[in-house]
Chain A
Amino acid sequence: MTTTTASTELRARQDKGRKAAQNREKWAQARTYISAVVILIWCLAPAYWMVVTAFREVGFTYDTSLLPTHVTLDNFATAFDTSFGNRFGQALINSVFIGVTVTAISLLIGVFAAYALARLNFRFKFLVLGFILGASMFPGVALITPLFQLFTNIGWMGTYQALIIPNISFVLPLTVYTLTSFFREMPWELEESARVDGCTQGQAFRKVIMPLAAPAIFTTAILAFISSWNEFLIASQLSNDATQPVTVAIASFAGAQPNQIPYTAIMAAGTIVTIPLVILVLVFQRKIVAGLTAGAVK
């Protein structure tokens, strides 16, 4: 009899403990969800506000109802309208052209350097790696003054090459170190077997490694393109009305009245500039995150 009471007591206590643990677990889970919702709101609310405003009639610019009201597409037409001196359409083309060119050049040059840094043993490897990392952290203002003077002297101000060349200074290092850390993780045994089968190192690189490296290169290309697409400092100084990229166009967007900022049209322009990037980033989310953090933790 005493033993049964003891055991029931024990069981009751165990139950109590388990319940407390379960409650704690539930509470922890709830806190996680609350935090997750806070993060979602913090990250998405301002972006949501941009999109909602982009679809709002000009007269209701400062409408603060959280749901879309007075929906219109006019702002997108206004964004592309050139009658107030805005050249948003041209700027989009410029940004794509500059971004693609910078990305292509950086990849073309950087892929070889990344291969060497990831695969080969040579002296001064860490020195080179340090130089490239340092270059990617380089302040743009330190380059702009001499470039401004140089390009003025040789008549390059406002040309595409004057915008493309400085962009290489930060896109190329980014390309090299992102690719380097991707290349370190690849199955290089396949290269060895290709070598055994009689390929030269160059052939092995071209025929075995390049196809394997394609996803890494693609991710790096996206990151390179985004960083060129977002560039503002250099472009704001070295471009002119005909060659300015979207960042410059949006920063200096003019409205009908000089004292009134055309917010709805700017938000529409911002939405156009951002949506393709956001889609691209969300689709390749995993790869992008890997690429973004590659230089820092690997």
Chain B
Amino acid sequence: MATELGPTPVKGPASGGTPVHHGPKGVGEDNKILSQGKWATWLLAPTIIALGIVIVYPIISAIVMSFQKDAGLDPATGLFTAGGPAGIQNYVNWLGQQCAAPGGGTVACPPGTLGGQFWSATGTTFLFTVITVTFETILGFWMAMIMARTFKGRGLVRAAVLVPWAIPTAVTAQLWLFIFAFEGIANKLFNASILWTGSEWPAKWAVIIADTWKTTPFMALLILAGLQMIPADVYEAAKVDGATAWQRFRLITLPLVKPALMVAILFRTLDALRMFDLPYILTGGANNTTTLSILVINQIRQGFNSAAALSTITFIIIFLVAFIFVRFLGANVVEQSGATGKGKK
């Protein structure tokens, strides 16, 4: 068996008759890789099986469910039906914002029902994502640049940025609800009397500000780690050559930190697209702050199967965004995290 795989032709016992010690290099290497592969299989099996149970199984059953009708009263006959195959009707209903009509068929969902909120929830989700990730990237980059400098008290700053990150999102939401209360500190500080959670744009800004506060540190730390990978002598050389601060930033910092930056933006974008805790607690999804995740959760108790269809749509949206990032914007997560392993062997 090993004869075929060996890099150097190894004579079989029949032709050479040389015993055990023949070709220790070739055969040994092969056995090593073979045994490493075997080892890897055994070591990885528990994780793969566990993830199969907790992720792959639910995802497959969600997809199966999404092609089933919701059990419930049939509006056409008024009788309880157990569901049955629905084809792609659940998806069509969500995308076209159609609801089942009494007497069969579908009509446009009346305003206020969950079915009529798909596109507005999608819009809100993307709006939150684009604005928060933009803010977090700019602020995070600035924080990282500051933390990368040497100054007294740098340790304190680096510790302080971990505080918002360490506070659970549910607590963050309640905290900002209090800050944005009508008689709260935000209105007092800015001498305003805004009902923050009472109308559309203040409510959206409340969510955006709270999310930016909570997650900028994570961004800053990822970018800082990227900055620290840039060797200092590159900057020295540029300085000697007379590059201005802006040139150094544009021509050295940005391109060299780009891989880490792209991964940080990818992580944050995928995280923001599934945003749930903050708007759910802060505004309850009122005033057009319902994200796709909130819509799924609200739908679950009204019908599993159409909730499954919506969660599958959400999953596909997130997957597509991740794909675009990795394919076209060069955020290579696996390469990034596999780089050292590859180099070192």
The answer to whether residues A133 and B44 also contact, given A44-B163, A141-B311, A274-B171 and a CB cut-off of 8 A, is no
Q: Is the CB of B225 within 8 A of A293?
A: yes
- The interface residues of chain B lying within 8 Å CB-to-CB of A253 are 174
Q: Is the C-beta of B166 less than 8 angstroms from some C-beta in chain A?
A: yes
Q: Is the C-beta of B207 less than 8 angstroms from some C-beta in chain A?
A: no
Residues facing B in A31-50 (CB within 8 A) are 32-33, 35-36, 39-40, 42-44, 46-47, 49-50
Expressed in whole angstroms, the Cα–Cα distance for A173 and B229 within the complex equals: 25
B333 to A: closest C-beta gap in Å? 5
Q: Is the C-beta of B202 less than 8 angstroms from some C-beta in chain A?
A: no
Q: Is the C-beta of A93 less than 8 angstroms from some C-beta in chain B?
A: no
Q: Is the CB of A184 within 8 A of B341?
A: yes
Q: Is the CB of A143 within 8 A of B58?
A: yes
Q: Is the C-beta of A109 less than 8 angstroms from some C-beta in chain B?
A: yes
- The interface residues of chain B lying within 8 Å CB-to-CB of A96 are none
Q: Is the CB of B178 within 8 A of A274?
A: no
- The interface residues of chain B lying within 8 Å CB-to-CB of A229 are 168
Name which residue of chain B comes closest to A247, CB basis.
Answer: B170
Name which residue of chain B comes closest to A50, CB basis.
Answer: B175
B36 CB contact (under 8 Å) in A36, A121, A165, A180: A121
Encoded as 1 (CB less than 8 Å from any A CB) or 0, chain B from 176 to 187 comes to 111101011100
The prevalent SS among residues of B at the interface is helix
Expressed in whole angstroms, the Cα–Cα distance for A226 and B273 within the complex equals: 21
Size category of the binding interface on chain B: 35 or more
The answer to whether residues A233 and B293 also contact, given A39-B160, A274-B166, A282-B162 and a CB cut-off of 8 A, is yes
Name which residue of chain A comes closest to B182, CB basis.
Answer: A62
Expressed in whole angstroms, the Cα–Cα distance for A173 and B345 within the complex equals: 22
Q: Is the C-beta of B59 less than 8 angstroms from some C-beta in chain A?
A: yes
Q: Is the CB of A247 within 8 A of B39?
A: no
Q: Is the CB of B263 within 8 A of A251?
A: no
- The interface residues of chain B lying within 8 Å CB-to-CB of A292 are 218, 221-222
- The interface residues of chain B lying within 8 Å CB-to-CB of A122 are 33, 36-37, 40-41
The answer to whether residues A273 and B171 also contact, given A141-B276, A296-B225 and a CB cut-off of 8 A, is yes
Q: Is the C-beta of A88 less than 8 angstroms from some C-beta in chain B?
A: no
Q: Is the CB of A230 within 8 A of B61?
A: no
Residues facing A in B289-345 (CB within 8 A) are 292-293, 296-297, 300, 304, 307-308, 311-312, 314-315, 318, 322, 333-334, 336-341, 344-345
B314 to A: closest C-beta gap in Å? 6
Q: Is the CB of A120 within 8 A of B39?
A: yes
Encoded as 1 (CB less than 8 Å from any A CB) or 0, chain B from 139 to 179 comes to 00011001101010110111111111111111101111111
- The interface residues of chain B lying within 8 Å CB-to-CB of A135 are 51, 55
Interface core residue of B143, B270, B338, B339 (most chain A CB under 10 Å)? B338
Q: Is the C-beta of A29 less than 8 angstroms from some C-beta in chain B?
A: yes
- The interface residues of chain B lying within 8 Å CB-to-CB of A123 are 37
Q: Is the C-beta of B277 less than 8 angstroms from some C-beta in chain A?
A: yes
Expressed in whole angstroms, the Cα–Cα distance for A289 and B221 within the complex equals: 7
Q: Is the C-beta of A85 less than 8 angstroms from some C-beta in chain B?
A: no
Residues of A within 8 A of B (CB): 29, 32-33, 35-36, 39-40, 42-44, 46-47, 49-50, 53, 62, 64, 109-110, 112-113, 115-118, 120-123, 125-126, 128-135, 137-150, 165-166, 168-169, 172-173, 176-177, 180-181, 184-185, 201, 226, 229-230, 232-233, 236-237, 246-248, 250-251, 253, 261, 263, 266-267, 270, 273-274, 277-278, 280-282, 285, 288-289, 292-298
| Sample of 20 more A-B contacts, CB < 8 Å, known A229-B168, A233-B277, A298-B339 | A33-B151, A46-B175, A49-B179, A50-B175, A113-B44, A123-B37, A125-B40, A139-B273, A141-B311, A145-B304, A146-B61, A169-B51, A172-B51, A184-B344, A247-B277, A270-B167, A270-B174, A289-B221, A293-B225, A296-B225
